[in-house]
Amino acid sequence: MAFFLSEIKDKTITESSVPFLWRRLSPRSLRGVIIGVLACNIMVFLMLCQPAYLRLSSLQEDKIHWEEVLRRGVSYTSPIIPTMDQLPDMIEQCRNAFVNQGVNVVSVNVERFGERREAGKGASIDYALVRLRLLGQWQGIVTSLKELEEMQGVGIHAQEVVLAEPGGEALLQIYFCTGE
């Protein structure tokens, strides 16, 4: 055992006993490795953390807005979504929007009503699908559809529009409120 320890003390470290990577590592290359690792960390931050930070600031803006709404209170009393008994009036509004653009409404057909998913005492939002057959210029049809979708206080969305030579057909989804 003493022979082994004296042999270790007498040996000096030679280049052949040092691994190849450690021999090539100099202060300049070590600085390059550190800068590379820092650059990778910055890239990861920009790609992963910055979108989350931007979303957080957006949520903080939303929080400020809704706190202001709670502080001021709600000032309107009329319902935003019409009730089912107002559905014929909404269909008539749709017809009038087309007539005002010079498009003749040949037929109106209520295809189906949306089904409530859960029965209860509370109010729920349902819809009716209304198909309109139209005769007139395409530009008038498109303008009327845009006007209907942008109408305030009524939830009307074009589900399907088929334009043909004399006019076309439009399937409108009209939202209304049912229940208490």
The pLDDT of residue 22: 59
Domain residue ranges in the chain: 25-72, 84-177
The pLDDT of residue 47: 82
The pLDDT of residue 126: 80
The pLDDT of residue 20: 61
The pLDDT of residue 35: 94
Backbone dihedral angles phi then psi of residue 6, each to the nearest 5 degrees: -70, -30
Q: Cβ-count burial of 172 within 10 angstroms (0-12 exposed, 13-18 middle, 19+ buried)?
A: buried
Q: How many CB atoms lie within 10 A of CB 171?
A: 16
pLDDT per residue as tens digits for the range 68-104? 888 887 655 554 667 777 888 888 888 898 899 888 8
Is the per-residue pLDDT at 48 higher than 70?
yes
The pLDDT of residue 89: 85
Residue 120 or residue 172, greater confidence = 172
Is the per-residue pLDDT at 67 higher than 80?
yes
- Copy the structure tokens of residue 128: 């009716």
Classified by CATH at the fold level, domain 84-177 comes out as: Alpha-Beta Plaits (3.30.70)
Give, in order, the Cα–Cα distances in Å from 13 to each of 9, 10, 18, 60, 144: 10, 10, 8, 62, 89
Mean pLDDT of 15-40: 75
Whole-model pTM: value is 0.50
Confidence of residue 52 (pLDDT cuts 50, 70, 90): confident
How many degrees, rounded to 5, is the angle at CA 152 between CA 150 and CA 154? Answer: 95
Mean pLDDT of 101-118: 80
The pLDDT of residue 113: 80
Pairing, β 155-163 against β 104-113: unpaired
Is the per-residue pLDDT at 56 higher than 80?
yes
Mean pLDDT of 147-160: 81
Q: How many helical (H) and strand (E) elements, i.e. helices and strands, does the chain have? A: 6, 4
Give, in order, the Cα–Cα distances in Å from 40 to each of 33, 45, 49, 50, 54: 11, 9, 13, 15, 21
The pLDDT of residue 7: 53
